[in-house]
Amino acid sequence: MFNENRLINSAPLPVESPAKCPLTRKDFASDQDVRWCPGCGDYVVLAEVQKLLPTLGIPRENFAFISGIGCSSRFPYYMETYGMHSIHGRAPAIASGLKLARPDLSVWVVTGDGDALAIGGNHFIHAMRRNVDLKIILLNNRIYGLTKGQYSPTSEMGKKTKTTPRGSIDRPFSPLALALGAGATFVARAVDSDLQHLQSVLARAAQHKGTAFVEILQNCVVFNDGAYESLADKETRADARVLLEHGKPMAYGSDGNRRGVRMRGLQAQAVTVGENGVTEADLLVHDEKADHSALAFLLSQFEGPHLPVPLGVFRAVEAPTYQERNERQVAEARHAEGQGDLQALLDSGDTWVIE
pLDDT per residue as tens digits for the range 312-329: 999 999 999 999 999 898
Q: Enumerate long-range contacts of 193-199, CB under 8 Å, 24 or more apart.
A: 193/41, 193/44, 193/219, 193/231, 193/232, 194/232, 194/237, 194/311, 195/44, 195/48, 197/243, 197/311, 197/312, 198/44, 198/45, 198/48, 199/48, 199/51, 199/52
93-140 pLDDT, tens digit per residue, is: 999 999 999 999 999 999 999 999 999 999 999 999 999 999 999 999
Strand order in the sheet with 251-252: 251-252, 259-264, 267-272
pLDDT at 288 (0 to 100) = 97
pLDDT on residue 231: 92
Per-residue pLDDT tens over the stretch 265-287: 889 999 999 888 899 999 999 99
pLDDT of residue 348: 83
CA distance 202 to 271: 30
- What is the predicted pLDDT for the residue at 14? 64
For the chain, domains (ranges, CATH) are 4-247+287-323 (3.40.50.970), 249-285 (no CATH)
pLDDT-derived band at 345 (thresholds 50, 70, 90) equals confident
Give 233's contacts (C-beta < 8 A, 6+ positions apart): none
Is residue 173 within 8 Å of 156, Cβ to Cβ? Answer: no
CB of 241 closer than 8 Å to CB of 250: no
What is the radius of gyration, based on Cα positions, of the chain?
22
The one-letter amino acid at 59: P
> What is the rounded average pLDDT of the residues 225-242?
91
Please tell me the predicted confidence (pLDDT) of residue 352.
79
Q: What is the pLDDT of residue 17?
A: 53
Please tell me the predicted confidence (pLDDT) of residue 78.
97
Q: What percent of the chain has pLDDT over 90?
A: 75
Strand partners, 249: 285
- End-to-end Cα separation, the chain, in angstroms: 47
What pLDDT does 341 receive? 80
Q: Which residues pair with 136 in a beta bridge?
A: 109, 213
A 10 A CB-CB count for 86 gives 19
pLDDT reported for residue 314: 98
Residue 6, pLDDT > 50, answer no
Q: Average pLDDT, stretch 7-23? A: 61
